[in-house]
Amino acid sequence: ASRARAPYTTQACDVCRRKKTRCNGAKPVCGPCEASKRHYECSWTGDPVRHPRTEAHFEALRKRISALEAYCEDLKSMIDKCNKDHGGLSTYIPLRPSPEYQELEIEEADNSSQELVAATENLKLEDRDLVMYGNVSPFRFALVPAQHSSKFPEIMADPNARYVLWLDGVSSSHVNLSFDWSRHLPVNLPLTRHEHDKIIDLLFSFFTSWCLRVVPTLFLRDMYRAIASSGTVKTPHYSPMLHNALIALATAFSDDPHINSFKNREQYAIKAKSYLEYECEKPNICVVQALGLLGSFHATNGDQNLGYLYFGMSARVGQILGLEVDCSRLVKAGKISHDDMLDRNWAHWTAFSWDVCWSLYVGRDCSVPIPAHVGDVPIPFVDSAFDQMAWHHPGAKIPPQPSFLSKTFAATCELCVVARRVMEVVWVLPLFKISFLQLNNWKSHLCAEVDITPTNRDFSTPHRLMLHLFFWLMFMILHRPLFNCKAQPVYSSEGEIDHKKVCKRAADNILQILQTWRTLYTLRYVPVTLIHAVFSAGTVFLLMGGNSLVKVELCIQYLNETGKSWKCATNIGAILQQLLENQ
């Protein structure tokens, strides 16, 4: 005989009704909820306690988790700073929860099939340079003959030799006048050795020092090695394409109208491009820099889309080389040198920071990937000896001083990591608050050699001025979307933020830095990021209206002065002028 069916209750609880299971109607907690330990969910409102979770819900949770993790890191850094400044205990560290997911340990196996499934050795050594192939690529398994010969067979007797710039005040006795410095440059163009060295020194001082796009000492060392050799020598910091790309930009800083004319400058860019396929076939980090500088050449002449294309090629070469991959194990294995690893780390962070500047300039997504863990490719270490090398520009009428190039570059990389987050979360309020704290935290941790104060402002180097100008630009970009919003607290324990006042403060600081730059160096010698900052400050003064419109006119004046070197500044100044007339 069949069992008698148990009677249904007249009303099921919310949980049983949603799950379509039998409810016994017991109150306050029914039998099924009691058995499944859903005491707190059992209710009788007639509405389901929990709605089905959507992908949007889980995405919101992921963003919330990311925001909280970032906030925890900021709080930790604040605690560490308090402990360092005022003393204290680190008893909170053992309370930190351990990661929920631990990295799986894969036992080493002699079986060759292990290589087919493990995400290992994606970097292959080809022609003395590392090349990246993903796990699914067949080229990862190709056999490449080992290279054991010296990179510089003919000059190892004098490893410290380098090309000496013939600048004003440098005796000709210190210069090898017979050196074939123009071997890879176009022929029959009006450029002397003295003028070549003068303008490339200006470019190193005012353009490539921002984001450290070229390390001058290494470029000059490798220029000597490459040209002094009777054969073709591949070096990490010099190539014919890189040399021509640099001169295509540097000629804009010449006072000779025949040299700084676009027609003349374009010949160097064309010559650089003639080496493109040859150098890209077996690239090294030189190619990353050369293509990026060609992008800057086009951008400075008002062709930002063509420039963006060349920078995109630069980013792709960086991916070919796998610059975002930790290669420390290959150093330990003896496959590459420690210097090679440092070169790769520098090239990655140069490309990363350059990418952030480009993305801000054209308002597009970034191209250079972030490593899975930022620690995988450490921010370039501070080289004290390199930082003590004198920086001097005779036209500034300030005494020589330590360059602190590596310290400034390290701080720039840290700021660009925060800037990347700002760009990604500028419209997400919880993450906006995190970014606000991260920017302030970055500023509060600057070392004295990199910070700008009223006492050192009047002899600040260009790269240090650019670092602070970029900080205020990011501050402005973070707050400008909320310009007309009501003031609101950052966190419940802190005061309110008046976004309008914050934007004005950032714009005023940018203007102050510009005035310092103009007084010390003139606005003829600037990187492109400065032009973007001037325009952004001008838009804030436009939004302020009233008496602030005078400062808009000042921004337009500064852009026109910069336009004597870079055409894009004149174009952007015309855009700002049009916005002012429409106000």
| DSSP string for residues in 281-335 | HS--HHHHHHHHHHHHHHHHTT-HHHHHHHHHHHHHHHHHTTTTS--HHHHHTTS
Whether 196 shows a pLDDT value over 70: the answer reads yes
Report d(CA 213, CA 392) in Å as an integer: 19
Least confident of 97-101, 229-233, 239-243, 483-487: 97-101
Report d(CA 553, CA 567) in Å as an integer: 19
Greatest Cα-to-Cα distance within the chain, rounded to the nearest angstrom? 116
Over residues 487-510, the pLDDT tens digits come to 555 544 455 677 788 899 999 999
Report d(CA 32, CA 576) in Å as an integer: 69
Amino acid sitting at position 156? M
Whether 311 shows a pLDDT value over 90: the answer reads yes
Residue whose entry in the numeric block shows the structure tokens 């855009």: 575
Closest CA to 45 of 19, 26, 17, 8: 17
What's phi and psi for 129, nearest 5 deg?
A: -125, 145
Q: Is residue 468 within a helix (H) or strand (E), and if so which, with residue range? A: helix 462-479
Closest CA to 522 of 415, 378, 381, 393: 393
Mean pLDDT along residues 455-473: 96
Q: Is 204 exposed, middle or buried (0-12, 13-18, 19+ CB in 10 A)?
A: buried
Higher-confidence position of 340 and 484: 340
Amino acid sitting at position 323? L
Query: Is 0.95 surpassed by the pTM of this model?
Result: no
Report d(CA 463, CA 469) in Å as an integer: 10
Whether 483 shows a pLDDT value over 90: the answer reads no
Q: What's the pLDDT band for 481 if we cut at 50, 70, 90?
A: confident
Q: What domains are defined for the chain?
A: 7-48 (4.10.240.10), 125-326 (no CATH)
Identify the pLDDT of residue 326. 85
178: phi > 0 → left, psi -120 to 50 → alpha, else beta; which?
A: alpha
Taking residue 212's Cβ as centre, other Cβ atoms within 10 Å add up to 22
Residue whose entry in the numeric block shows the structure tokens 């010296």: 150
Identify the pLDDT of residue 115. 45
